[in-house]
Structure 1
Amino acid sequence: MAKAQNLEMANSRQLHGLNAAAPSWTPQSYTALPQSSIQSWLHDRVNTPGNWERMSSVMPTCITRKSEAGPSSEAAPTDRVTVSSGIAHNAVAPSNLALPKRPHPWVATTAYRDLTGMKVPTWPLAAMYLPFRDLARDLIVPQHGVILIENAPFDIVKNEIVALLGRTAKIVQCPPRSCFHSVHVAYDRNTGKAHNIFVELDRDEDAQEVVRSFADYQAANGYSRRLRNRQIRVTAVGQRELMRAIFPRVRCCEFVGTVPYIIQAKEHESAFQGFLVEEELRSLLRFADKPGKTIFCKDSPQRPYEAMISLLAKYPWQSNDTYKLKERDMLFYYVEKLAQQLLGQIPDHQDGRFQTKLNAQLLTELVVVACSCRGFNSNQQAHLVALTNGFLKMQMRLPRLAFYAPFDCLAIHPRAQEVLVEV
């Protein structure tokens, strides 16, 4: 039995391109099991009628471009975004909204007995207890406050930012209930240069409080606070600015908070083609492989990995009608490649000057954030954990049968009863 499981895991590793030497991603790099027709039936019969999480979330559904200047005006038209109200397909819940709790029959400890105790269950009843769910579809993204730190040293590390803000700053944990903080360094994936720093806090009020504390310091001392030998400037911004910094090359897309809305392309303008370009991800892999390739990366070799972590954390997984499985699989392919690369670099830098920057802690953060992404299925998450097994600083809690999950879009619910997965 153990030999059969090892053989199946080895075959799966070969199918997923772990041992492939191809420099770039191709659709054949990741081979997933065929998707069952149960997904569409499940969405129509189980998820849609309840629609518990989105009933009270009213958000814009249509964004169009209008010209400020009239047709007879000689002035150049200025683009402005107009939003029409409606119920969004992937709405964001307001922070002060108390959402009703949706019953999850597959979570109950008596789920198997309730399903099979009396008689052979009907198909609709069995579908209600199905432990495979489209987790991205049900995701509700909270709207956190954001501050922008400008003129920071390009080789700054996250721990210095956390220490600068102090213990009273309510920095968001990413993912929730973890030891990692939501600190994002704007990173040019083409040149390898780090720019400004974004920090997410629990609420907009918390962000304003941090900005006031820095302003009070400047008023009392006559100069702004320093980070190392640089004077920094701290301002409060929104999620839109953060999303624009992480996805700089997206076209014909406007962010309302963290929710993307596709805009119709104007004449002679490229239409929306996704949030990522493979060239950006290939550049991340190249900079991670050779940290000294540019002057900006030689003192901060961890930056490409942090850029991928920020990309995974802020990717709009909840808007699963705006990206394709091809883009998701391409992203997962490069996450794997970066994890493999970091696995090879950790032993080389254990006693070197990069031991605090290229270490198992960074690898753990990459894997934890990737496994918390609702867009990756259970098989992909288990595959990534198996790849880095033995190097992680914390234990990953995944379903026992996650490696054998048969669906490409659906994932095993984290709290589903294992007996339901087995049957």
Structure 2
Amino acid sequence: MLNQLTGTEGRPSLRDIIHPWFVPFSEKCSFMEQSNAGVIRINNIPYEVSRAEIFAFLGRSANTLIDRNEPIHILMDRTTSKTNECYVEFASFDEAVTAVTRYQNAIDNNIHVPKIGSRDVEVTISSQAMLMKKLFPIAKGVLWEEMPFRIIRNAPHSWDNFTGFITEEEMTLLCKHVEGYNNPVFSKQCPERAYECMISTVKKYPWHMPEHITIKERDCMYDAGLRMVGQLQRRISKGEKPERLTPQLLSRLAEAILSCPGFSISQKDNVAYRANMPEHKMRDLGQPRFAELWRHLQVLNTKEGVPLDIIEYYIAVVREETTRIADFQGISQQQRLLAEQRSTSNYWGFF
């Protein structure tokens, strides 16, 4: 791809270098689509239920979303940390209906009463709208039932207008649960639940609506995620609750953040570093080399599948050209640019 761009002379034409097919950068949220996965609801689950138990209950034939997409959402009240219910996403609506039908047939034919742990549970068809309402209960002014979701800003009552999908208070409370400040009894019974709640929040957050997401709200979620990754890393190293707080849970949390289109390259690099993520895993998740030097870029990301040499070539072009332009400026302007560069990165030149 790089050879095709640079051609025989080793320098691309202006037409080629700005062609969308070659440019390796994007604002990824703009390419996201709203999920239309089928959803079922499992009610009356025990608080201490694990993700593995939900998978076992559904059976091997259940065609849920792939594991990387985190199809199981065991909802947790961010205030009390109690588990309420579980939602499971399937590859299609028909697959969700099949799962509910299989459950109902087992009851109707007196084969057995499906249980999770010692509890009889209820399985019903649900929807993306209901799942989103439960995951983002404080979000007002969002019509989750519509496709795509619609935002209300001119409601008769101001408190019914949209102000955001999450609040800083919600994220703070979520962190408090893993740090043992809130409801330690629940946290001790099922210490992984708050981390799984963060995974579900990151995966289901409506990133496909970037025009309604502020940098402040995004950074609030990122700060909570980074804080929780560090806390989980420390708890695992101490051998705390090894049957619940596992390296796999840490990997799931870190991967959910790194695969998120809303976080910046530098933010993802901080999470990967704190989680001790291996280099090959970072590359699989689309992280470029020298990601720590992207710290001044708030929303710019790389396109999925773009080769590393193309990314680094474009950065080199930006560095060379901005440096050339800076050299033609007056002394005072050069001093200002150099001072600004010290707070960003000379890897990108004066960009």
Q: TM-score range by the shorter chain?
A: 0.7 to 0.9
Q: Which residue of 2 aligns with 1:323?
A: 213
Q: 1:418 to 1:151 in 2, by over 3 A?
A: same
Asked whether the equivalents of residues 6 and 12 of structure 2 are also in contact (C-alpha less than 8 Å), the reply is: no
Q: How many corresponding residue pairs?
A: 307
Counterpart-to-counterpart distance in 2, 1:136 and 1:269 = 28
1:185 is paired with a residue whose SS is: strand
Counterpart-to-counterpart distance in 1, 2:280 and 2:310 = 27
Q: Which residue of 2 aligns with 1:245?
A: 134
Asked whether the equivalents of residues 26 and 302 of structure 2 are also in contact (C-alpha less than 8 Å), the reply is: yes
Aligned-pair RMSD on alpha carbons?
Answer: 2.3
Q: Which residue of 2 aligns with 1:188?
A: 77
Structure 1 residue 293: Cα displacement:
2.8
Asked whether the equivalents of residues 364 and 394 of structure 1 are also in contact (C-alpha less than 8 Å), the reply is: no
Q: Which residue of 1 aligns with 2:236?
A: 346
In the alignment, structure 1 segments of 5+ residues that lack a partner are 1-107
**TM-score of the superposition, structure 1-length normalised?**
0.68
Q: How does 1:79-98 map to 2 (within 5 A)?
A: none
Q: 1:223 to 1:168 in 2, by over 3 A?
A: closer
Structure 1 residue 227: Cα displacement:
1.2
Spell out structure 1 runs of 4+ moving beyond 3 A.
108-112, 116-120, 256-259
Q: 1:384 to 1:259 in 2, by over 3 A?
A: farther
Q: 1:237 to 1:225 in 2, by over 3 A?
A: same
1:408 is paired with a residue whose SS is: coil
CA displacement, residues 256-306 of structure 1 (integer Å, 9 cap, x when unaligned): 467431113223534211001111111111110118834332210111100
**TM-score of the superposition, structure 2-length normalised?**
0.81
Fraction of identical pairs, as percent: 27
Q: 1:111 to 1:316 in 2, by over 3 A?
A: farther
Q: How does 1:24-423 map to 2 (within 5 A)?
A: 108=1, 110-114=3-7, 117=9, 121-122=13-14, 125-126=17-18, 128=20, 129-176=22-69, 181-221=70-110, 224-256=113-145, 259-263=148-152, 264-267=154-157, 269-290=159-180, 293-348=183-238, 350=239, 354-389=241-276, 395-397=281-283, 398-405=287-294, 406-422=296-312, 423=316
Asked whether the equivalents of residues 87 and 131 of structure 2 are also in contact (C-alpha less than 8 Å), the reply is: yes
Letter in 2 for 1:148: R
Counterpart-to-counterpart distance in 1, 2:148 and 2:230 = 32
Q: 1:251 to 1:280 in 2, by over 3 A?
A: same
Q: 1:140 to 1:110 in 2, by over 3 A?
A: farther
Letter in 2 for 1:367: A
Asked whether the equivalents of residues 144 and 204 of structure 1 are also in contact (C-alpha less than 8 Å), the reply is: yes
Counterpart-to-counterpart distance in 1, 2:202 and 2:15 = 36
Q: 1:355 to 1:123 in 2, by over 3 A?
A: same
Counterpart-to-counterpart distance in 2, 1:233 and 1:396 = 40
The structure with more helix, counted as a fraction of residues: 2
In the alignment, structure 2 segments of 5+ residues that lack a partner are 317-351
Counterpart-to-counterpart distance in 1, 2:309 and 2:53 = 46
Q: 1:417 to 1:228 in 2, by over 3 A?
A: closer
Asked whether the equivalents of residues 132 and 412 of structure 1 are also in contact (C-alpha less than 8 Å), the reply is: yes
Letter in 1 for 2:281: Q
CA displacement, residues 141-187 of structure 1 (integer Å, 9 cap, x when unaligned): 441100100011011000000011111001112535xxxx4100111
Q: 1:343 to 1:260 in 2, by over 3 A?
A: same
Counterpart-to-counterpart distance in 1, 2:235 and 2:190 = 14
Counterpart-to-counterpart distance in 1, 2:91 and 2:120 = 26
Counterpart-to-counterpart distance in 1, 2:33 and 2:127 = 18
Structure 1 residue 412: Cα displacement:
1.6
Asked whether the equivalents of residues 63 and 95 of structure 2 are also in contact (C-alpha less than 8 Å), the reply is: yes
Counterpart-to-counterpart distance in 1, 2:243 and 2:209 = 36
CA displacement, residues 71-95 of structure 1 (integer Å, 9 cap, x when unaligned): xxxxxxxxxxxxxxxxxxxxxxxxx
Q: 1:175 to 1:132 in 2, by over 3 A?
A: same
